[in-house]
Amino acid sequence: MIHALAHIELNAIDLALDIVARFCGQPVPRSFFDGWMMVATDEARHFGLLSDRLSALGSRYGAMPAHDGLWQAVDATAHDLAARLAIVPLILEARGLDVTPSLLSKLHEVGDLETAEILDVIYNDEKRHVAVGAKWFRFLCARQRIDPARRFGELVRECFRGEVKPPFNDRARAEAGLTPTFYRSLSSLSQ
């Protein structure tokens, strides 16, 4: 599990930096890029924490096979910044907010408090990442005078092949500015 999480964090560094590099010509305020550089720095710290934890347990990152699911999202959204923000921070990172609380309670159950502490740091930082995504997604929609929740639904149907499924961590999502109007109608169980 720790290896899988380290892999996600390593990819998250690339995902944040890809936004900065690929969309550097977009007419957005400079603070847009500062926000994603901050995210990339957080992801690097997360990867470091998990990588150190793997070493402490006698393993290392790279000891196990890993998937390229996250990088596929980069290809699927390379053509459009709004699509990128919809899928990377608002679907994939928001999913992390949904699943982390139960991972945390399992770690407490098995007594791995060191890893739990790391996940707690990650959980709090990830709320901020979703918030950066939500802020700029709303910015892009406002500039075009389109409804952000509706546009989000369209982009997710167009560019995301995975499932959007509950349980949703509504509280953490709302703290990040991602209100249920964005994702409820996308969930198969809501229909």
Q: Which residues bind Fe ion (CB under 5 A)?
A: 9, 12, 43, 46, 93, 126, 129
Give the C-alpha separation, 152 to 157, whole Å. Answer: 9
Residue 166 beta carbon to Fe ion: minimum distance, rounded to whole angstroms: 21
Nearer to Fe ion, 27 or 130 (CB): 130
Nearer to Fe ion, 12 or 86 (CB): 12
Give the C-alpha separation, 126 to 103, whole Å. Answer: 15
Give the C-alpha separation, 60 to 41, whole Å. Answer: 21
Q: Using CB positions, name the residue nearest to Fe ion.
A: 129
Nearer to Fe ion, 18 or 126 (CB): 126
Kindly give, in sequence order, each residue whose CB lies less than 8 Å from that of residue 190, ignoring residues fewer than 6 positions away.
166, 184
Residue 93 beta carbon to Fe ion: minimum distance, rounded to whole angstroms: 5
Q: What number of other Cβ atoms are within 10 A of residue 78's Cβ? A: 13
Give the C-alpha separation, 166 to 154, whole Å. Answer: 19
Nearer to Fe ion, 9 or 18 (CB): 9
Residue 102 beta carbon to Fe ion: minimum distance, rounded to whole angstroms: 17
Residue 133 beta carbon to Fe ion: minimum distance, rounded to whole angstroms: 9
Nearer to Fe ion, 133 or 153 (CB): 133
Q: Which two tokens stand for residue 30?
A: 């400079």
Q: What number of other Cβ atoms are within 10 A of residue 154's Cβ? A: 13
Nearer to Fe ion, 44 or 185 (CB): 44
- Of 74, 97, 54, nearest to 14 by C-alpha is 74
Q: What angle do CA 162, 166, 167 make, to 5 degrees?
A: 135
